[in-house]
Structure 1
């Protein structure tokens, strides 16, 4: 009887270990850089035990950002560029992993698995493309074989495809990590991630009627306005928004899209919440000439108000806690808006429950890799009960 090849033997050995060291990678729609989180896991499912050992965000340079933006959220694009970037991003992420491990003085052989989200370039659920005969779809690039070969570490990637194949929309995948790491039988909790897109998980104490859904534009429109009018990548601390005035008519126009009335769970992306979306809303609201700071203030209020309305009107029950992660957790304008609009709700960040607010998404994909290795599909409401990820071997 033939024996397992060495990669399968190594994979089997990893699954049998009492603890596994997994690197989680996240590169979001903001294109700030690559989040790298080294995590220690034991157990799986609701018995998962987790520790964040190291975390760093290595920034992308402007030239790379511009290359990705040529294909990002574009209905028509250069297929050769997509093909080249698929390999280029995988190679870049491998180099960044090696840089981080060397900086920390870690031996590559200490890492069991790399979990790579890749770089989303297009997300198109059926609700957005409108073609009933076509499926939900999403595309992340950054070839994991390049990561595995260059680092010598087994790499798990392409997590979103199984979710779609099983009937989901491929996002948000925060559901699985939030339920396993963020549930608390003592309180009703919302875990809110404000990245390029804002998504949340409603975790009632009894774990009934859990909801995980995108709720709005997150930072994507704020960041675009900061780049266009202030030559800044984002509104650090919400200072620009705080210096402006919210244009109420424009805010109403931004909130008028049918997406906000659709039932959860639902997903969205910069394919919808784009500069064209903002420009059309400005025209409807007669707000084409407002000050740049007022625009940033209004876009920031748009992000916050979409969250507030969902919390108030789309969940069954009252939250005790609203715990934030992602870049928006550091935006004081948005955080203060949430606190004012949701009196009686504790608004803090996920650090308070041991989940680094900046590293949370990278941690999530490390957890999904741990589940792919050792878990069984977790049933959460009507969400697809699947294990996600594709395996790439070094050689």
Structure 2
């Protein structure tokens, strides 16, 4: 279960894993996306950086989001059947990065509400152990990408277009991953603030398609120092938020209309992603996340990457809208079996770490026998 940087709701996937020699097979059962109630989402947005907030509000949001996750978990169990473990990523509200180093991260959504509601043990707080080992705690989906993409000759990359774009590049046993920059974060911020779509995003890319790219503003946006930092690196809405767009407009000396602004921010995503994909020199790009449902982004990427095969993650058995939820289910399976949930090249950590904090369910906390060796590959099916 995860609510990502788009903070629009909770994605859930029920996955049944079975070890088959060196191969891990995962059958993806029930999947769902549960929107946050409108009032809760508005309250969450109002509390996110750079807005000021209080510890009292953080406590209230921790409870309300935990209860929302608990309701989503109960619904998933009712529809998908009993589960052995629930993995809750929760809602990221702050990712502390200074001097290109991640120093802390905060996800809220109290897991005890989930354990109490379902009677099932909950693994949560999955990013921080990697950060304590010198990593960025992101992108954790890289552990899934490494198992899925290792067989591609010539190398492949997995691109997730959520609020933030992240990419995992895999060549055999070699893997590296990092956050590229904003995918939907800036687009969503403008769409929401200007009331362009009550759902808070550019549905089917219609707004961008109606506008023209403002080249001067795009030039200012592309001058962001983050893009020049070496990987591994991570970022979030602490940097890429509505105020960031306002400041860029001021530097560009522009007043840009709604459609043109969304078109420009969409082109920013295309340019920054395409540049790094070309630099990676891979032959296949597997795309997931909400941005892969935006035809303007996808058409832009295919035009900018003529020598690269661009396919949705659905082709690998990981539905594009559910891939991150599946990744956290995988992390739960790995942690339960005493196996690391990170690849050092994926986060920049000094070594791989077993992830998460466990909250017991209704009975004794019983874990499987630890496994000595991790799986070498992953096959997903429905």
Shift in Å, 1:330: 0.3
Shift in Å, 1:44: 9.0
Which residue number in structure 1 is paired with residue 24 of structure 2? 48
Shift in Å, 1:45: 10
Shift in Å, 1:380: 4.6
Alignment equivalent of 1:328, drawn from 266, 274, 291 = 291
Shift in Å, 1:375: 4.4
Which residue number in structure 2 is paired with residue 4 of structure 1? none
Alignment equivalent of 1:84, drawn from 57, 60, 83 = 60
Shift in Å, 1:85: 1.5
User: CA distance change for structure 1 residues 387 and 194 in 2, over 3 Å: closer, same or farther?
Assistant: same
Give CA deviations for 1:292-350 in whole Å, capped at 9, x if unaligned: 1000000000111111111223x3xx211111100000010010111011111011210
Q: Does the alignment pair 1:350 with 2:317?
A: no
Give ranges in structure 2 of 5+ residues lacking alignment: 363-382
User: CA distance change for structure 1 residues 216 and 160 in 2, over 3 Å: closer, same or farther?
Assistant: same
Which residue number in structure 2 is paired with residue 248 of structure 1? 215
User: CA distance change for structure 1 residues 58 and 126 in 2, over 3 Å: closer, same or farther?
Assistant: same
The alignment partner of 1:159 has SS state of coil
Q: Distance in 1 between matches of 2:9 and 2:89?
A: 13
Between stretches 263-272 and 173-182, larger displacement belongs to: 173-182
The alignment partner of 2:47 has SS state of coil
Give CA deviations for 1:114-161 in whole Å, capped at 9, x if unaligned: 000000001112236x9xxxx611100011112111110011010001
Between stretches 115-124 and 41-50, larger displacement belongs to: 41-50
User: CA distance change for structure 1 residues 144 and 261 in 2, over 3 Å: closer, same or farther?
Assistant: same
Which residue number in structure 2 is paired with residue 392 of structure 1? 359
Q: Map 1:108-123 onto structure 2 (within 5 A).
A: 110-123=82-95
Which residue number in structure 2 is paired with residue 196 of structure 1? 163
Q: Across the two proteins, how many residue pairs are aligned to each other? A: 356
Alignment equivalent of 1:136, drawn from 103, 114, 120 = 103
Shift in Å, 1:181: 2.7
Q: Distance in 1 between matches of 2:332 and 2:96?
A: 24
Give ranges in structure 1 of 5+ residues lacking alignment: 1-24
Give CA deviations for 1:35-88 in whole Å, capped at 9, x if unaligned: 110001123996321111110111112101012123223463111010122122
Shift in Å, 1:199: 0.3
Give CA deviations for 1:163-205 in whole Å, capped at 9, x if unaligned: 111111111111111112332243411100000100010112x
Q: Distance in 2 between matches of 1:79 and 1:66?
A: 17
TM-score by length of 2: 0.89
TM-score by length of 1: 0.86
Q: Cα RMSD between the aligned structures?
A: 1.8
Which residue number in structure 1 is paired with residue 124 of structure 2? 157
Which residue number in structure 2 is paired with residue 18 of structure 1? none
Q: Does the alignment pair 1:212 with 2:181?
A: no
Which residue number in structure 1 is paired with residue 368 of structure 2? none
C-alpha contact 2:64 2:109 (8 A) present in aligned 1: yes
The alignment partner of 2:31 has SS state of strand
The alignment partner of 2:89 has SS state of strand
Q: Does the alignment pair 1:310 with 2:273?
A: no
User: CA distance change for structure 1 residues 235 and 149 in 2, over 3 Å: closer, same or farther?
Assistant: same
Q: Distance in 2 between matches of 1:47 and 1:167?
A: 29
